[in-house]
Structure 1
């Protein structure tokens, strides 16, 4: 909570002690009647990016009953319309920097739900003001940014949560309890898959410059990204398929599907990664080369070192674009694999288990193993599961840093995000183009295993890809490390 609120609370308590010297406890209804919340029990929130997912984030935070949505910020008034209508008393801004500068003494916490390329700069600036933060997945666009935010959360002692709400579902906790009980032995291999992207990828950038809608501040939307002309259909969703702004299918779904392996096995940072990617065909005879765009499909393999929950290294396979692993023998021919388009499969020495998106519907394989299953509950459940992810953060902010357990604080979300972005390094390596001494175009990053030095945050055997670990921001924009 901000310093002014804390001082007000101290003054209030001193005054109350004098006025009610005969009492040791003052009932809440005496102070303010039914439903009264003392200043220390209410979180004042500012939203950055309040359309689409940002709108639903704010709605669910407000429904916790202990948060007031006081400020709204969005570069596009069309996208902000629902939140503006939902929270008519909230003051509206287009530029988050102006909102932070003018209002930072008046709010306690910030939600960030903007395109990936602006997450880090908006989040770090809030943390440096000692504001608690809730940030949509993926946490950042670059590995370097994720490392900075993870450290900053600890340095500034603010309460953090990433918006992979499935981390608060019962499913991941069930999987942890089953694994800890030894039901599938030692896990050595994991598969996660998605039917995303459902937006265009593997395509050329449009050459047709379009008029910027009057409701959209295009320069603010670009933020840290390179200057480009506005094109149709990029906003509000298709930016995900372009490396300047998005992180592809991995960024969109990886935090939902790989959270369970991270929580079950205590995975942290991978040491090796390799990828194969699908190609876009310009016509039936020619494949396209569009390095600005994420590929239409990929299969990435990551190697994680032994943890306190495994006997050895763990291999994680990521598949997108509709690619799926072979159905396990224990699953019937007509039984649903994951939720159909998405899922996560754990392969252990004594059995297998799987879940849907958001870690939902955890089950052992074969499905008959789930009948009369009785494993003692070991981990506390989050009330309202995924929807409770938001209220859990609100409660954590009110309690203060380190006082309550959260499902996806940056100490967990940071390494998880780095894993996804490391996988993207291997995907992007496939598009690094060079001309050899014979004048022939080559792709030296393809069909190569990348070796990762985690301390140095660099690939040690293919330097060309390290440019994507920490990108250069557009002039005038800077990540404000302190």
Structure 2
């Protein structure tokens, strides 16, 4: 069914005027009822997310790829299947309480915002958005609609990440002014040229719908189903893919907020302008706040790592993802999402050290706490969009610096680069005709 954005928005408005959408469990259903969930994107991460909500009432499944949709329909056979999320919202929005968005980065914002416009609770994969402007829009919509939201960086809900925050805030390693974070990504092509051939679109794929708000281009398996992550029009590169996981503990523990400057190094961006670079090192500076001094955070990907001496002779090996907090009294080494447990360095210095008690409430699980908030939106989730939006902005600002090719001074209040011109597309992207937030 062809439906442009204006038609869809008109039908959404009509539904709202008719009283179909309300925050919380809709239409007077009891708070202990199952949450009625629709999923947009059901392959890859979407398949994993479907498995996490199958104990609820899955009412809608949507994917532009019929193969993924067919596989999901076998797992949730009572759900109605759609190829276009706009048609799904138009037809069954009055039977939906909450929406899970697991599509490529470039379509997160338009889908999540449309769901919130209908008063639906939203779980959205990381990074929350493809652009900084979109992160602002989604955070604002979530606050205005008072819906339960959660970004899909599940490590935030783990026991180990809470221990990291408790250890850092206890002061056992002293004031932290330096953080290093690294990833083994990309594990998909980056720093490559745009393909010139145009093979036939697979019969199972609605390529135009997959492109969504992105500029039109010919189909190529270099993009779908997995390799889109490295292409600027669709993904956000290694930093965008993993930063919301790996930087999260520092963002939380140190209350980082927005950086004031960002600079990056990488192979020349202009050599392969359509993709993120094969590797990058990004340096952020966060200003002092009431509880701490200035913090410098450095990001590494594509095989780059912090100086070996910071690890007491045991640097992370190939395939590692993690972070290192450098304090005045010692260091804390953390695996991605806290996996493997935080480790104090130097080990001899901290042998037998007493760790702080547990003072952060524990999570029942990343999806579980979102489902609880869907029943009672007064119960906040750990990575609600008011938290996830600013974290995503930090991550995406590294890409702004990479693509600008110079150090940038960031004016967070004005959402602009303060030290000279930069291309607005790096902060606020254009949409294909018929698509908008």
TM-score by length of 1: 0.83
- Segments of 5+ residues of structure 1 without an aligned counterpart are 10-37, 281-287, 431-447
How many Å apart are 1:461 and its aligned residue? 2.1
1:58 matched residue in structure 2: 50
Q: 1:339 to 1:232 in 2, by over 3 A?
A: closer
How many Å apart are 1:371 and its aligned residue? 4.2
Match of 1:122 among 90, 111, 131: 111
Match of 1:344 among 315, 318, 323: 323
2:420 matched residue in structure 1: 462
Superposed counterparts of 1:41-190, under 5 Å: 41-62=33-54, 65=55, 67-190=56-179
2:335 matched residue in structure 1: 356
Between structure 1 and structure 2, the one with the greater Rg is 1
Q: 1:379 to 1:328 in 2, by over 3 A?
A: farther
> Could you list the per-position Cα deviations for residues 238-276 of structure 1 after superposition, in whole angstroms to 9, with x for gaps in the alignment?
111110000000111000100000110111111101000
1:435 matched residue in structure 2: none
SS at match of 2:52: helix
- In the alignment, the residues of structure 2 paired with residue 308 and residue 168 of structure 1 have an alpha-carbon distance, to the nearest angstrom, of 26
Match of 2:287 among 305, 320, 345: 305
Q: 1:339 to 1:200 in 2, by over 3 A?
A: closer
2:307 matched residue in structure 1: 326
How many Å apart are 1:201 and its aligned residue? 0.8
SS at match of 1:315: strand
2:246 matched residue in structure 1: 257
State the 4+ residue runs in structure 1 displaced beyond 4 angstroms: 1-7
Aligned alpha-carbon RMSD (Å): 1.9
How many Å apart are 1:338 and its aligned residue? 8.0
SS at match of 2:399: helix
Match of 1:378 among 352, 359, 363: 359
1:412 matched residue in structure 2: 387
2:201 matched residue in structure 1: 212
- Segments of 5+ residues of structure 2 without an aligned counterpart are 1-19
User: Is residue 2:432 matched to residue 1:453?
Assistant: no
How many Å apart are 1:40 and its aligned residue? 4.2
- In the alignment, the residues of structure 2 paired with residue 236 and residue 112 of structure 1 have an alpha-carbon distance, to the nearest angstrom, of 16
How many Å apart are 1:467 and its aligned residue? 2.7
> 1:338 touches 1:356 (CA, 8 Å); kept in 2?
no
- In the alignment, the residues of structure 1 paired with residue 31 and residue 182 of structure 2 have an alpha-carbon distance, to the nearest angstrom, of 45
How many Å apart are 1:464 and its aligned residue? 2.9
How many Å apart are 1:61 and its aligned residue? 2.3
How many Å apart are 1:347 and its aligned residue? 0.6
> Could you list the per-position Cα deviations for residues 146-183 of structure 1 after superposition, in whole angstroms to 9, with x for gaps in the alignment?
01111111000000000000001112211221122210
1:397 matched residue in structure 2: 374
How many Å apart are 1:393 and its aligned residue? 0.6
> 1:298 touches 1:320 (CA, 8 Å); kept in 2?
yes
SS at match of 1:367: coil
> 2:116 touches 2:147 (CA, 8 Å); kept in 1?
yes
Superposed counterparts of 1:173-252, under 5 Å: 173-252=162-241
Q: 1:107 to 1:339 in 2, by over 3 A?
A: farther
> 2:167 touches 2:355 (CA, 8 Å); kept in 1?
no
- In the alignment, the residues of structure 1 paired with residue 308 and residue 35 of structure 2 have an alpha-carbon distance, to the nearest angstrom, of 47
SS at match of 2:381: coil
How many Å apart are 1:6 and its aligned residue? 4.6
1:292 matched residue in structure 2: 274
- In the alignment, the residues of structure 1 paired with residue 161 and residue 290 of structure 2 have an alpha-carbon distance, to the nearest angstrom, of 18
- In the alignment, the residues of structure 1 paired with residue 436 and residue 26 of structure 2 have an alpha-carbon distance, to the nearest angstrom, of 31
> Could you list the per-position Cα deviations for residues 96-147 of structure 1 after superposition, in whole angstroms to 9, with x for gaps in the alignment?
0000111110010000010111100000000010000000000000000001
Of stretches 455-464 and 92-101 in structure 1, the one that deviates more from structure 2 is: 455-464
How many Å apart are 1:8 and its aligned residue? 3.8
- In the alignment, the residues of structure 1 paired with residue 90 and residue 32 of structure 2 have an alpha-carbon distance, to the nearest angstrom, of 23
- In the alignment, the residues of structure 2 paired with residue 200 and residue 219 of structure 1 have an alpha-carbon distance, to the nearest angstrom, of 23
TM-score by length of 2: 0.91
> Could you list the per-position Cα deviations for residues 447-473 of structure 1 after superposition, in whole angstroms to 9, with x for gaps in the alignment?
x32111112111122313333110110
- In the alignment, the residues of structure 2 paired with residue 5 and residue 379 of structure 1 have an alpha-carbon distance, to the nearest angstrom, of 28
- In the alignment, the residues of structure 1 paired with residue 175 and residue 353 of structure 2 have an alpha-carbon distance, to the nearest angstrom, of 23
